[in-house]
Amino acid sequence: MSGRLLLLNRQHTRLIDRRWLRWATKELISDLLHFEDFDVTIHLVGEREMTRINEKHLQHAGSTDVITFDYSDSPGSEPLIGELFICVDEALVQAIRFKTTWQSETMRYIVHGLLHLKGYDDLETTARRKMKREENKLLKELRVRFRLSKIEGKSKLRA
112 is in an annotated binding site: yes
Instruction: Name beta bridge partners: 68.
Output: 84
Report the relative pairing of strands 80-87 and 66-70 from DSSP bridges.
antiparallel
Label residue 89 exposed, middle or buried (CB < 10 Å: 0-12, 13-18, 19+). Answer: buried
Residues 6+ apart with CB under 8 A from 10: 43, 44, 45, 46, 49
116 is in an annotated binding site: yes
Q: Binding site for Zn(2+): which residues?
A: 112, 116, 122
Q: Binding site: which residues?
A: 112, 116, 122
